Amino acid sequence: MLSSSLRMWLSWCSILWLAQSSFQASVLGERSLTALSNDAMAKLLTTPDPVKNIDPRNPSSHLSKILIPRAPDTQNNTFVRNYLISTLKGLNWHVETDEFEADTPVGRKKFANVIATKDPDAPRRLILSAHFDSKYFPSYPMNQVRLLHAVIQYSLTCLQFVGATDSAAPCAMMLDAAEALNPLLEARMKRIKNGSQLDDEDEDVGDLTLQLVFFDGEEAFKDWTDTDSIYGARHLAEKWDTTYISPHTKRRLMNDVTTELAAIEHLILLDLLGAKQPLIRSSFIDTAWMFDHMVAVEERLGTNGAFAYDEEQSMAPGKWTSYFVKRNKDIFHMGGIGDDHLPFLNRGVSILHIIANPFPRVWHSSKDDATALDIPTMRRWNLILRVFLAEYFELEPKGSKSRSLNDPEEEEADRYVARSVSELSL
């Protein structure tokens, strides 16, 4: 990853662009998203348990399976890749790998991106992504770690770089979102495939699917340069830019996109998340509306008490503070931070970059391990992502009533949501 000082320089030297608000709405695909009903919200916030998948104390959690040294072209990297594949296949997602070789400063290496798509027949995709490799440090022993018992493995990996925030935790959050949203996504797919009459909401987003991309080779083997970094993202963006869609289904034929790259509606990239009290900034004008909606989701959940967890009362209603730097609606920071989104951005893909800025203090040190992670913070990210994505895809269960924000009649139901979540947390 690009060095902190250079990144900050790029960030702060970015161009300030005064934008016209009318331009935003008409050109940039802005939609107004409907808030979930309290029924749907309560279920989504509690099923599955929002700590289960990101708990580093549980050796069988998704996070624990990923939280090992996993530099590209190592046994551990293959172990993590296979874990991602089997987990998503188990949820009935279409999974493929993008495998290739590339020259690096430490020799030729093999890489493999993992791409999981809920509905491969859908003409358009919202991508949620993160990198699953960890940074290669030649001084740390890499062999045999995965073969040891979990406890021994944990103590050994403390001596090595495991990239907990960078980006094991974001990968585990992606698996959590897939698991939580899966029943709702499947129900909608069934309606579409059965040719049932679609609701108005389905027609808005009925040709859109969720795709998860786990990039390999994000990290530089030596120092971050254009050629020693983001190996997986560079390969996949170029491949998709030159892969013409084979219209093997009627649904894909009806759409006017020509390449796999053009079929991306937005790419959301998560990075350096899981440590306490991150600060997230909006970097791109065309996803400013999505950023604002994520802020609104956070506000709604925080106000309803969904963030208070266990002994962590600093996130109780009235006490918690936002993870997001409030956006100035007229000024946008363009340029942002060097990361996996760049090869897509350079080809015109719309990007929402959710990255802690400033970086976590443990960045690229052996301290970026389980102790750098804060469970209430990761739990809160899971809740935000679940609700944000459900509202983006309009995944309201059939028959439940849509709600408007701040409806006084729903106050009791709001309390029920908070109660359900806090009971589950005990």
> 88-93: long-range contacts at Cβ-Cβ below 8 A with a sequence spacing of 24 or more?
88/114, 88/116, 88/175, 88/178, 88/212, 91/178, 91/179, 91/182, 92/182, 92/186, 93/117, 93/118, 93/178, 93/212
In angstroms, the CA 74 to CA 76 distance is 5
Which residue, 215 or 291, is less far from Zn ion as judged by CB?
A: 215
Q: How far is the CB of 182 from Zn ion (least distance, A)?
A: 29
Dig out the tokens for 75 from the structure.
């046994």
The stretch near Zn ion (CB under 5 A) out of 149-157, 166-174, 244-252, 382-390 is 166-174
Which residue, 45 or 171, is less far from Zn ion as judged by CB?
A: 171
The stretch near Zn ion (CB under 5 A) out of 101-109, 164-172, 262-270, 412-420 is 164-172
Instruction: Based on the shown chain and the rule CB under 5 A, indicate whether residue 339 belongs to the binding site for Zn ion.
Output: no
Which residue, 1 or 345, is less far from Zn ion as judged by CB?
A: 1
Instruction: Based on the shown chain and the rule CB under 5 A, indicate whether residue 166 belongs to the binding site for Zn ion.
Output: yes
Instruction: Based on the shown chain and the rule CB under 5 A, indicate whether residue 294 belongs to the binding site for Zn ion.
Output: no
Which residue, 206 or 360, is less far from Zn ion as judged by CB?
A: 360
Helix, strand, or coil (residue 188): helix
Q: How far is the CB of 1 from Zn ion (least distance, A)?
A: 4
Instruction: Based on the shown chain and the rule CB under 5 A, indicate whether residue 1 belongs to the binding site for Zn ion.
Output: yes
The stretch near Zn ion (CB under 5 A) out of 162-170, 203-211, 321-329, 348-356 is 162-170
The stretch near Zn ion (CB under 5 A) out of 165-173, 202-210, 329-337, 371-379 is 165-173
So which residues are the catalytic ones? 218, 271
The count of residues interacting with Zn ion (CB under 5 A) is 2
Q: How far is the CB of 70 from Zn ion (least distance, A)?
A: 12
> 343-347: long-range contacts at Cβ-Cβ below 8 A with a sequence spacing of 24 or more?
343/230, 343/233, 343/234, 343/236, 343/237, 343/238, 344/233, 344/237, 344/261, 344/264, 344/267, 345/284, 346/237, 347/237, 347/241, 347/261
In angstroms, the CA 169 to CA 272 distance is 8
Q: How far is the CB of 218 from Zn ion (least distance, A)?
A: 7
* Chain contacts with Zn ion (rule: CB under 5 A): 1, 166
